[in-house]
Structure 1
């Protein structure tokens, strides 16, 4: 109880009192402190501000505590309050506080000896939406399918090898996922989520927009996002990680777009860190904001500039794996990924359709500093999700490919618990269908986890590759010396498992051209099994 009490104090600092008679002149600001000197909190007593699970996560990954982990100096917070301002939150990673005050009061705060600087976080009443964010529209309708374990949601999971993971006993048990979104109405009443409450898997909720515990209102976007991971109603919908632990955090105000929402994300990430979360799923992205908030340019998506991107990298530095949607700007003027998808330590997820063809709306890379993004892709077009009423429907957006991937990542981490978050991120890339030829449309491609659960990870670096993607040029397999020692048999299958082509490959040859023309193949994902007397590997490619 002592930890929980302190955690609430550190993250909320002071209970929010809604300003009476506020005007546009009363705005929110991020006040940066000069240091953390003379604080009662030390690195020698981390249990005062981090949970046992958070400390365990750091210990397992060899991450040392740093001054950044310390809470802000309480004396500085008291100094702000003494100056007559409303302190809403504090951030230990940014060593800052969020305050609400008039412009003349801000000038007074900036003159305080312990204040380093400030940043405006406009949060004004606004009816006109000018910004962009990765919030997707939900199109519902009645759907009838034959009963099976996953129901209509089978294909979006099967594309990533989720059935094999679940069959092997990896459904996310022991892994904790924090979901950052715009609201979760109906989650506490929909039958497909009842197992979260019955089995104690829902570990906590908080609304950082409204400063309250309940998140069961506002946009149903979060409900739909959560359903792709956590829903459990066999025969209708089963998420990719139905047995994981969950925290639900509202950080996005869907009605407006201001920089304060980036700080909400930061605060939620710090909360997640303190509580011992393993994976963060964020189906939110920011580029433009409502005036007078500051909007970003593409040149600022360099992994080091935006508030939310810096927060995402700091979250990764604590050992959490941050999974973020790439954005839905691919067929718009912006085109590129949004923040925090530009962060260098997060897993950025784009979208494909059911045939593994890149979705036109999926945002593309590179980042402004020319790093490859997205990292990987999953099904994000016409995905089966639940609405706030519990109705099953289909929706499109990287907002759904992201959490589908996050659930799978949780299962893989359960299967390989010794991995660090960065090792896990790289493993996901290596498992991609496009690993040997990544690009800024699908990144490393669609990860497949069958080899992981059968203990064949080593084959990802075994020295064999195939042309990927394929358009009109011949399909070529390249082998290193180890593979050249024996003759090999190649079998080409479509995504349904139908054998399309079989061919013998001679030994002592580095390059082999398959005797089937790409023009004979329909667009979609294909599997190419290569076998010798001593080893077998399955390569994947996409026919564009």
Structure 2
């Protein structure tokens, strides 16, 4: 593991374990400062607090630095410490500090001239986990893992459909696997990631660029709740024949923000701090399979009216993250079949890509949360497979999981490789493109948003892929013969056609010795059950996958 960069450490203002408070009755508070005046930090010297990659991301998208990017004034932080508070973290975007102090101590802090206000974040301090282990791995004698973009559907194993539903496999085949892109994963923990073979390439190829646990203030994230491990697997796993993630060639930052044992506003602030970390480190994409509506007392739960894109702490943090040029992908929530029904925060943010869940046939999963937001935004934006998605557990076993928690990262990985293929676009351009590509783009609603990004549209946005290489199939089909239309690049050569059901099982195959522009397949539609089907055509190294629906 490479050491964390100095500017990240400065911004986080991390205390040592010896500095951690022992008085568990003291509460954590968010102390807001009045300004950033007389600070040693300056917009003229951004390398003091942002990495070159973070600056390059802004330049590429024509995003100017603002005072929000500046760290808090160190003198203000020193003043809090002098007044007896323990400072855990500082936040550039909120111009605030997370402190732990007694009630009497708090009253003293509020008398300081540069303290504006405060907010209580939790009831007590949760004990720091004693489980720690070194992150350094002896990799100098371990050869790099050779990851390839030349894959066939069998390499994806049972996870083929969740990648193919979005066209991620076709982007991989075109050479876009996420190389040079960085995804920050904000979640509950990542146990097993440091030992599961499907993640070994992250370590051996130096694709793991940083880790931090904002709950317990340590670098080790390979413990706690395994939700993050499963989420990561949908994007980063590389185990040919078993599972291939949608962005297995990308770099990753693994950041624990969520304590699964409790629910307080401190977790929203952990999310904020992790997003600032991701910004400073130069991340391109944030994936967050977390959502907030209900909290344990004394933290106050949000109402539907609070989900207006501007109120929730984590929603404001998500919009600030998007303002730096990062693509923020968040799960819609799993309350669609409950009394609450609606999306949570930060899914209500107007600058994020909110992802709902569908089944293998493209039908909305009953648990997937509904929009709109309180201010009338259509949410979710798009959908991906989230019912019986294939993920890895903490032991490395391939299992099925349900939730927008998995639809979100599947989409995040796809969005990353799509952005890699369209590098000149901004984060907001990518959100707009994904909406335009949606299967429901002409009639977006608050159930599935703009729908599933349609591969036949997506491929035309990839540089170097021309209409000559395109193929089309009858859609939908009922009882009439199925017609395949091929571009010039497919003609006068042998073409293999396979039709697969939604589980990836081959149910029909045909070999065309010399392809013509119009081909009638021998497939008999009246024998097919209703639902979604895949038609894969292959000639030499060229592969294309089409979709059609049997009515």
TM-score by length of 2: 0.80
Counterpart of 1:256 (choices 256, 262, 270) is 262
1:224 and 1:451 map into 2 onto residues whose CA distance is 29
Superposed counterparts of 1:528-539, under 5 Å: none
> In structure 2, what is the equivalent of residue 206 of structure 1?
212
For the residue of structure 2 that corresponds to 1:148, the secondary structure is helix
Contact 1:168 1:453 in 2 (8 A): no
Cα offset, 1:21, TM superposition:
4.0
* TM-superposition CA deviations, 1:417-436 (whole Å, max 9, x none): 00000001100111100000
Superposed counterparts of 1:243-282, under 5 Å: 243-282=249-288
Superposed counterparts of 1:488-527, under 5 Å: 524-525=531-532
Residues 350 and 46 (structure 1), Cα distance of their counterparts in 2 relative to 1, 3 Å cut? same
> In structure 2, what is the equivalent of residue 43 of structure 1?
43
Superposed counterparts of 1:3-22, under 5 Å: 4-15=5-16, 17-22=19-24
Contact 2:28 2:124 in 1 (8 A): no
Contact 1:123 1:260 in 2 (8 A): no
> In structure 2, what is the equivalent of residue 66 of structure 1?
66
Contact 1:350 1:377 in 2 (8 A): yes
Counterpart of 2:174 (choices 138, 150, 168) is 168
> In structure 2, what is the equivalent of residue 511 of structure 1?
none
Superposed counterparts of 1:129-528, under 5 Å: 148-455=154-461, 524-525=531-532
> In structure 2, what is the equivalent of residue 132 of structure 1?
none
2:244 and 2:528 map into 1 onto residues whose CA distance is 31
For the residue of structure 2 that corresponds to 1:152, the secondary structure is coil
* TM-superposition CA deviations, 1:120-173 (whole Å, max 9, x none): 10143799xxxxxxxxxxxxxxxxxx9911001011111111111111011111
Unmatched segments (≥5 aa) in structure 1: 128-145, 458-468, 471-492, 500-518, 529-537
2:23 and 2:550 map into 1 onto residues whose CA distance is 60
TM-score by length of 1: 0.81
Contact 2:24 2:126 in 1 (8 A): no
1:98 and 1:61 map into 2 onto residues whose CA distance is 31
Residues 447 and 147 (structure 1), Cα distance of their counterparts in 2 relative to 1, 3 Å cut? closer
Cα offset, 1:541, TM superposition:
8.8
1:287 and 1:446 map into 2 onto residues whose CA distance is 26
For the residue of structure 2 that corresponds to 1:408, the secondary structure is helix
> In structure 1, what is the equivalent of residue 33 of structure 2?
33
Cα offset, 1:294, TM superposition:
1.4
1:495 and 1:444 map into 2 onto residues whose CA distance is 24
> In structure 2, what is the equivalent of residue 483 of structure 1?
none
Contact 1:57 1:276 in 2 (8 A): yes
For the residue of structure 2 that corresponds to 1:149, the secondary structure is helix
Residues 539 and 264 (structure 1), Cα distance of their counterparts in 2 relative to 1, 3 Å cut? same
Contact 1:438 1:444 in 2 (8 A): yes
1:190 and 1:527 map into 2 onto residues whose CA distance is 31
Cα offset, 1:524, TM superposition:
4.0
Superposed counterparts of 1:50-89, under 5 Å: 50-89=50-89
1:330 and 1:73 map into 2 onto residues whose CA distance is 44
> In structure 2, what is the equivalent of residue 116 of structure 1?
116
Residues 75 and 2 (structure 1), Cα distance of their counterparts in 2 relative to 1, 3 Å cut? farther
> In structure 2, what is the equivalent of residue 533 of structure 1?
none
Residues 456 and 203 (structure 1), Cα distance of their counterparts in 2 relative to 1, 3 Å cut? closer
1:540 and 1:436 map into 2 onto residues whose CA distance is 18
Cα offset, 1:200, TM superposition:
0.6
For the residue of structure 2 that corresponds to 1:65, the secondary structure is coil
* TM-superposition CA deviations, 1:473-531 (whole Å, max 9, x none): xxxxxxxxxxxxxxxxxxxx9977999xxxxxxxxxxxxxxxxxxx9996644799xxx
* TM-superposition CA deviations, 1:427-455 (whole Å, max 9, x none): 01111000001000000000124433344
1:61 and 1:10 map into 2 onto residues whose CA distance is 23
Cα-Cα RMSD = 2.9
1:250 and 1:174 map into 2 onto residues whose CA distance is 23
Contact 2:7 2:51 in 1 (8 A): no
For the residue of structure 1 that corresponds to 2:184, the secondary structure is strand
* TM-superposition CA deviations, 1:209-246 (whole Å, max 9, x none): 00000000000000000000000000001100100000
> In structure 2, what is the equivalent of residue 512 of structure 1?
none
Residues 495 and 62 (structure 1), Cα distance of their counterparts in 2 relative to 1, 3 Å cut? farther
Cα offset, 1:2, TM superposition:
11
Residues 539 and 27 (structure 1), Cα distance of their counterparts in 2 relative to 1, 3 Å cut? same
Contact 1:122 1:293 in 2 (8 A): yes
Contact 1:172 1:243 in 2 (8 A): yes
